[in-house]
Amino acid sequence: MEDPVKHTMQRQLRRIATERPYQIVAASAAALVLAATTGTLLTVADDAPAAPRTATTVAEMRSDITTSRGDASPSASAAPSSAAPATSAPAPAAKVSSNPDLTRKPERPKPPATKVLDYEYEAQNTYYNCGPAATRNALSASGIDRTQEELAAELGTTEMGTNSAEDTTRALNAEVKGSPYRTRMFPGAPSPAQMDRLQADVVRAITDGRGVVANVVGDATDTDGGWHSYGGGHYVAVVGYKDNGRTVRIADSANPADPSYWITTIDLANWITSRGYSA
């Protein structure tokens, strides 16, 4: 009984050696089982025809071994990337607008080259009321109606006349909302800068719909050659301009026959010498 068993085991081991390597473990286990079984079972197994085998080449065995090892080993790690890890870019900080158009105050519209106010002329009703009359004519351009007598009381006018442009500025601001008037005095002959200032003041006031009151003294000639002489002093209203303020329109209460005329701004400035104006 011993020799047949050994013989059978040898045959089984030879057959197993020809099988694929990954079956060796299973075949070895089967051989142990066969050794432990009865001789009858081994005799039957030995007498049974062998199962057909297919030739397995060394190359296939090596291929199977490589495949088996590959299947058993963990997946190879991907090659490390030389690229820097992606990071989320920080959100750009909110920008504060530096556009000056959004912060600056709106600019005044450019004044027209020529403008004459719609005013109501009235000649002075006494020889000394030129101050109240000029103030009244200037206020009429702003839609304000006051009598010469009312304004004479505000100005402190007497038979000696009205003292200075400081008085007309005060009376005008008492009547016009916002007190926009300012006094400009020419103690001596006006400088070019003061002439430019007069031109700018007239343009600004007329553009805003306000008449200007000037305290003049001496002689002046208008653009038509008319001669106007007030040796003791006089008040006139400026109610318009043209040529961007180089020439101004005068409302003169002294003579209703010649109620208005044009004069250059330079001549008006010289006419104001030692006096002043309200604009």
For residues 44 and 126, state if they share a domain.
no
Q: Let me know the angle formed at the C-alpha of 277 by 177 and 182, rounded to the nearest 5 degrees.
A: 40
Structurally, the chain folds into a number of domains equal to: 2
For residues 42 and 120, state if they share a domain.
no
For residues 188 and 62, state if they share a domain.
no
pTM: 0.64
- Read off the pLDDT of residues 22-49 as tens digits, 9 standing for 90 and up: 443 333 333 333 333 333 332 333 333 4
Residue 87 belongs to a domain? no
| pLDDT, position 66 | 41
For residues 128 and 64, state if they share a domain.
no
For residues 64 and 172, state if they share a domain.
no
CATH code: domain of residue 193: 3.90.70.30
For residues 15 and 138, state if they share a domain.
no
| pLDDT, position 216 | 98
Residue 85 belongs to a domain? no
| pLDDT, position 262 | 98
Would you give per-residue pLDDT tens digits along the chain (279 residues)?
Answer: 445 545 555 565 555 444 444 443 333 333 333 333 333 332 333 333 444 444 343 344 344 434 444 443 434 334 444 444 444 555 555 555 556 555 677 777 899 999 999 999 999 999 999 999 999 999 999 999 999 999 999 999 999 999 999 999 999 999 999 999 999 999 999 999 999 999 999 999 999 999 999 999 999 999 999 999 999 999 999 999 999 999 999 999 999 999 999 999 999 999 999 999 999
For residues 128 and 264, state if they share a domain.
yes
Domain ranges, residue 49: 2-68
| pLDDT, position 4 | 52
For residues 133 and 216, state if they share a domain.
yes
Q: What six digits make up the tokens of 28?
A: 């070895």
| pLDDT, position 271 | 98
| pLDDT, position 162 | 98
Per-residue DSSP letter, 198: H
Q: Let me know the angle formed at the C-alpha of 159 by 222 and 147, rounded to the nearest 5 degrees.
A: 75
Helix, strand and coil in the chain, % to nearest 5: 40, 15, 40
* Domain termination residue (choose one: 31, 52, 68): 68
For residues 41 and 122, state if they share a domain.
no
| pLDDT, position 257 | 96
For residues 55 and 154, state if they share a domain.
no
For residues 48 and 160, state if they share a domain.
no
Residue type, 275: R
- Judge whether 108 and 232 are in contact, CB under 8 Å: no
